[in-house]
Amino acid sequence: MKGLTLARLRNTNFKELYRTLVVGEIGGRTEFEKLLSLAIIFLNDKNTDISRLGYRILVFYCNFTKDYKPLYDVAINEGLIPIVKLIENIEKYKSNFDSSFFGSFYSSLLENNKRDNIYLSDQQLDLFAFFDEKQDKSIAVVAPTSYGKSELIISTLLKRKDGNVCIVVPTKALLAQTKRRLIKANITNIKKIITHPEMYLEGEGNITAVLTQERLLRLLRKHPTLSFNLVFIDEAHNLLENGDRSILLAATISILEKRNEKIVFKFLTPFLIDSTNLNVKYSQYTTETFKINEYIKTERFYIYDFRVGKSFVMYDHFVDDFFNLDLGDYQDDVDFILRNKSNKNLIYLNKPIDIEHLSVRIGSRLTNLESEIIEHACAELSEYMHGDYFLIKCIRKGFIYHHGSVPDNVRLYIENLFTTEQMMNYVITSSTLLEGVNLPLDKMFLLDNKKGRGKLSPSQFKNLIGRVCRFNEIFSQKNGGLEKLEPKIFLVGSEYYSENANIEKFISGCMKVDKIEKDEPSNVLLKNVSITDANNQKKEIADEFIENFEPGIINGYSKSYVQTEIGKLCFMNNITEIDIIVSEHQMQQIADTYEGESIGSAEGVFEAILQIFLPFVKEGDDYKNLSRLSYEESRRFYQMFLNWRISNASYREMINSFLKYWRRVEKQDDSDVYVGRWGDKKREGFRDLWTDIKEKNQVQRINLAIVRIKDEQDFLDNILIKYIEVMNDFGLLEGAFYENIKYGTSDKDKIALIKNGFSNGLANLIINDYREYVEIDTKLNTIKINQTLIQKMSENDENDILIYEVKYNTKAI
């Protein structure tokens, strides 16, 4: 006899009865009894999808009726202990557990699942046991967001006795967050946390590093004999993608194993079907896998589409069907969000320019809040950035926006404000929230289904919605609640979606429960990716990089090795914009003409880049950002920007310099300025990358300056710095001048603070005004903060953003 499946169930009259529960139209006791009977049958079915449907029915029933006894029984049997403990705390059930023998017995028994004042599910306990048992084995852990992957790292480090450890994270935001967690964990055998390659001292042992793949590669470049014993790869699903950073991560893994064949890798990811897809070419490790398969949250999906007429449906991913809902009288997408909000809401958009556009629209519908905390935060941001910074107006109305062009320390500050201030209701964000940024969120509104130029993949979509109603929010003694087991996800079709975007097809493709899921690895350096005519060139470029960085990794390698010093340095610094093998001899000849010179000015740096590198940059849209430097006007702009960095200019100074620069430009016949993704005008291409600065008023210019400063800082840190590193390694730069480029100072104490995660402005303030509160070892690049520093800064009325930055980098919060 065939077993029950969702596909067979869809062909019965179950769906109509189920629909009445889902949309809240259930008739009465008879219908409830039928559904509960079916839920019990489903829960005991061998088919996982059917069993989960039974749990979903039960959660909906219990939250609808506020009768949690059935959920309590199921949660005990399924090992969902956090749910059990939350039900025990519901007032009307407390006496049952206190008075009955079995209630007291089970309640006491479940204390075995308590860890650091948090109750874990049975599978969470199994996960920790698996991790402990496999300490010396390479493993892959596949566990949804909030299952405690960070705690696995900390528990491992607490038990570690020796050996070098690295935690590889995909973003600088996650780098800061991971470092923060390690600091708070107070792990005694960690003497310092290396977050910059320059923090490591040759010969240093038992190190703990938290690095992006780019920073790890620079560390390996600077120290050819350095190896690691244990490496965590956080958000390991990124390894499957075919972008440059994913290929670089795979290359770095192969280099790490070449240096230590006994290295242990721990891959941590929320989504993965087959762990063999993590196996990198030219590496021999194999992974055992632990995969969480328990089901705790069960989402509700809604689609309100304003684009062609109006439609409002609920999508159920178990029956793969759409249930019509009352349209209501919503004016537009903003009206829908404001009237369906919860206390803490996430609004997702793909483009930063759309985020700011929506912020203007939402801000126009809200009134300023009366809150001393919010007003104080706005005053601090005004002082630190500028009074006309648009983010300040948003905060006054109870929301923040969050994208890659928000300065790092400002982002940390406003995230904390959103977390701690109840009146802050919305965060409007891009995919910067996909990886590791954890905020308290009750509902999500998706106003776009793209990430970058493509659609959100099913795994990216699931990762994003996993940020809503995290376990620590559901099971919080203060703000938790079982209704949060049903996170509400709204896909709101409006001007931000593509005109031809089929939202219903998208949500079904991402979430249909019985859809056969498979990984789609495309990284050319993974063993499970076939090499074809379409990707062969990318594979050859990757191989060329690996062998020239760390010879001997690829058996039978028959391609070219670099023959010049400049070529070797280009490979070691991950120069990808130039065909190094083809161009190295010409670059070497030009570089040799600088023999005996020592560059000590921004003008000299860009003149050298113009001469040595720019003639050999590859053609194509991917390289235009760099090839723009062939224009004198672009070079003058970046000389100005580099001089700000060298002089350690404040944000206020840089904003004013931008405004002054644009006042000069607007007097010219051609008043177009390059603003990248903030552009509204095409020029020399098919994308809006330019704007006519004459058309921008003062407030618009100020906000454009702020986002451009962050973008240009990233361009300098991610692209230009590689060429500056090559020139420095080649001996073309003065030593103190190079340090000023890297750190905005040549002061060793300030550099030590910057290497430990402090911003340039904070490092200056501490050294100039609070030096006695900090112990600095410039040789070891370690710092110790006296806790009275925060008190003294508060007494002296220093800016809150800088005070919070100190707190974030110490154990003070």
* Same domain assignment for residues 732 and 769: no
pLDDT value of residue 103: 58
Strand bridging mode 399-402 / 426-429: parallel
The CA-atom distances, in angstroms, between 797 and each of 85, 371, 376, 490, 763 are 44, 20, 12, 43, 17
Q: What is the dihedral of CA 289, 295, 300, 301, to 10 degrees?
A: 20
- The verdict on residue 548 lying in a domain is no
* Same domain assignment for residues 329 and 254: no
pLDDT value of residue 1: 46
* Same domain assignment for residues 573 and 612: yes
- The verdict on residue 526 lying in a domain is no
* Same domain assignment for residues 611 and 754: no
* Same domain assignment for residues 477 and 595: no
Cα separation of 716 and 650, whole Å?
Answer: 17
Q: Which two tokens stand for residue 229?
A: 């014993």
The DSSP 8-state label assigned to residue 677 in this structure reads: G
> In one letter, which amino acid is 139?
I
The residue out of 511, 526, 545 marking a domain boundary is 511
Cα separation of 471 and 438, whole Å?
Answer: 11
Q: Within 10 A of 435 (CB to CB), how many other CB atoms are there?
A: 20
Cα separation of 535 and 537, whole Å?
Answer: 6
Q: Which residue, chain included where needed, has tokens 């073309």?
A: 732
Which residues, 6 or more positions from 478, have their beta carbon under 8 angstroms from its beta carbon?
none
Q: How far apart are the first and last CA of the chain?
A: 60
* Same domain assignment for residues 786 and 729: no
Q: In what order do the strands lie in the sheet with 672-674?
A: 672-674, 688-692, 681-682
Q: In what order do the strands lie in the sheet with 165-168?
A: 193-194, 208-211, 165-168, 230-233, 264-269, 139-142, 288-291
Q: Are 517 and 543 in contact (CB under 8 A)?
A: no
pLDDT value of residue 499: 86
* Same domain assignment for residues 462 and 316: yes
* Same domain assignment for residues 773 and 791: yes
Mean pLDDT per block of 10 residues along the chain (813 residues) reads 86 93 89 93 95 97 93 92 88 61 61 82 92 93 85 90 93 87 88 90 91 95 95 95 94 97 95 94 94 94 93 97 95 97 95 94 96 96 94 97 88 94 95 73 96 89 91 85 96 93 96 93 96 94 95 91 95 93 96 90 95 93 86 89 89 90 89 88 80 92 92 90 94 93 91 90 94 92 90 95 91 60
* Same domain assignment for residues 280 and 350: no
Q: Which residue, chain included where needed, has tokens 């962050």?
A: 710
* Same domain assignment for residues 215 and 320: no
The residue out of 250, 265, 291 marking a domain boundary is 291
Domain count, the chain: 5
* Same domain assignment for residues 210 and 158: yes
Cα separation of 222 and 224, whole Å?
Answer: 6
Cα separation of 456 and 166, whole Å?
Answer: 29
Q: Which two tokens stand for residue 746?
A: 């040549």
Cα separation of 49 and 514, whole Å?
Answer: 7
- The verdict on residue 151 lying in a domain is yes
**DSSP states along 99-111:** HSHHHHHHHHHGG
Q: Are 269 and 466 in contact (CB under 8 A)?
A: no
CA 739 to chain centre: 29
- The verdict on residue 445 lying in a domain is yes
pTM for the model: 0.92
pLDDT value of residue 433: 65
Residue 547 forms beta bridges with which residues?
Answer: none
The residue out of 240, 266, 291 marking a domain boundary is 291
Q: Are 43 and 74 in contact (CB under 8 A)?
A: yes
The CA-atom distances, in angstroms, between 441 and each of 212, 490, 497, 697 are 27, 13, 23, 35
The CA-atom distances, in angstroms, between 708 and each of 529, 686, 696, 744 are 38, 21, 14, 19
- The verdict on residue 688 lying in a domain is yes
* Same domain assignment for residues 340 and 470: yes
User: Which secondary structure element, helix H or strand E, spans residue 287, and what is its range?
Assistant: none
Cα separation of 408 and 616, whole Å?
Answer: 33
Residue 427 forms beta bridges with which residues?
Answer: 346, 400
Q: Which domain holds residue 201?
A: 122-291
